[in-house]
Chain A
């Protein structure tokens, strides 16, 4: 017996380690919503480093862009873009409020209003793998963040917090394959699930009968329990209706530009 273990110790070690890793993976699959002590420690240790590198790169980039390269044009462009994004967000929010008012008048005295406390945060790092879509924020439990909180930008929904450490938080973007957001088409009120597909989203369960159009705006339906109702998710970029089936294929272009994401807002609480 001892001789057997001695001869095959490498193979036994390999099997044991693989089995233990699989057990760890399996355990964490069932506890996705929590941040383990190991993850918290790694995030806590690496956040200052990430923040430092990020700050250094941004400083150098800004120095180059602002002082050496078209100083006025760049700043004006940034200001106008920012202004445009804010106006767009306000416009779509007002349109949604107006539509909501019409429905509420029809439903007599029903009223709904909510206010959110928001916390601004900065993106300091991105995902290490090419297939997953997550970002790291420079705020954590010390600032009142916790797992499950929604994250938005001026243009629309960004994602939700999945891991949190004292001074940093990891956000699962809505474009990640494991992300699903309950959404509805603003114009037709067609419900569906906006699922991440890498650089875009797909709208699952969009009824075949729904008369959707390209460029229709999608907003959160408030059904998933994470995102409040009325936040912009994206626009319809592709519609395909097969000859059979209950649903149509709908691809969405996310409202937020994830390649240029620098500052975001975390919705802290939802007071009905």
Chain B
């Protein structure tokens, strides 16, 4: 329960950063999707039920912060979550670059799913064009954001003596058999 609360607070903090602080410091296109990085990290390292609950909740919260229709990001995040969970059993979770690769793949999959949902179900006009134009830059800034967050975690790990539960880092948790 405490972990859920910590993750939820951290997710809210990232959303606030993305909606208030970063847009004032950076052009819109250079704002990384920090919530997607957190979602991928959760899918990779958290227990199934906790991660699933948080994924759904973050999806609904992202709908409140950024989509015009409630439920869009809930669907998209759930699909990404299940894809990561299926893939993660076939990948080496101890590789430090795994999270970065997942962020790259996640950005592409998210753009595709959002575009597909809006095109198929909603009258979204030229949303595909907008997504395609911003995708390369979004991919780049998301990777930068992931590197920044990972570096922060690596720095914080020794400070708090916690070396477990960090997916994609050299010291892996019991969840990944380390």
Interface residues of A, Cβ cutoff 8 Å to B: 10, 13-14, 17-18, 21-22, 24-29, 32, 36, 38-39, 42-43, 46, 49-50, 53-54, 57-58, 61, 124-132, 134, 136, 162-163, 172, 176-180, 195-198, 202, 259
Are B20 and A25 in contact, CB atoms less than 8 angstroms apart?
A: no
Complex Cα gap A38–B85 (Å): 28
Are B125 and A178 in contact, CB atoms less than 8 angstroms apart?
A: yes
Which residues of chain B (17-46) have a CB below 8 Å from chain A? Answer: 18-21, 23-24, 27-29, 31, 33, 35
Quick one: closest A residue to B134, CB to CB?
A: A130
Q: Which residues of the other chain, B, contact A24 by a CB distance below 8 angstroms?
A: 70-71, 74
Query: Beyond A129-B62, A131-B114, is A124–B20 a contact (Cβ under 8 Å)?
Result: yes
Q: Which residues of the other chain, A, contact B28 by a CB distance below 8 angstroms?
A: 126, 130, 259
Quick one: closest B residue to A15, CB to CB?
A: B82
Complex Cα gap A54–B138 (Å): 24
Q: Which residues of the other chain, B, contact A132 by a CB distance below 8 angstroms?
A: 66-68
Confirm or deny: B61 has a beta carbon within 8 angstroms of a beta carbon on chain A.
yes
Contact of A180 among B27, B59, B70, B125 (CB under 8 A): B125
Query: Beyond A22-B75, A57-B20, is A17–B56 a contact (Cβ under 8 Å)?
Result: yes
How far, in Å, is A19 (CB) from chain B's closest CB? 10
Quick one: closest B residue to A258, CB to CB?
A: B28
Chain B at the A interface: SS class: helix
Confirm or deny: B153 has a beta carbon within 8 angstroms of a beta carbon on chain A.
no
Q: Which residues of the other chain, A, contact B114 by a CB distance below 8 angstroms?
A: 129, 131
Quick one: closest A residue to B22, CB to CB?
A: A126
How far, in Å, is A15 (CB) from chain B's closest CB? 9
Confirm or deny: B143 has a beta carbon within 8 angstroms of a beta carbon on chain A.
no
Digitize B61-100: 1 where CB-to-A-CB distance is under 8 Å, 0 elsewhere: 1111111111110110011001001000000000000000
Are A162 and B68 in contact, CB atoms less than 8 angstroms apart?
A: yes
How far, in Å, is B56 (CB) from chain A's closest CB? 7
Q: Which residues of the other chain, B, contact A50 by a CB distance below 8 angstroms?
A: 16, 19-20
Are A25 and B121 in contact, CB atoms less than 8 angstroms apart?
A: yes
Query: Beyond A28-B69, A57-B20, A128-B15, is A259–B27 a contact (Cβ under 8 Å)?
Result: yes
Complex Cα gap A43–B129 (Å): 29
Q: Which residues of the other chain, A, contact B27 by a CB distance below 8 angstroms?
A: 259
Quick one: closest B residue to A61, CB to CB?
A: B24
Digitize B106-124: 1 where CB-to-A-CB distance is under 8 Å, 0 elsewhere: 0000010010011001111
Quick one: closest A residue to B125, CB to CB?
A: A177
Are B64 and A43 in contact, CB atoms less than 8 angstroms apart?
A: yes
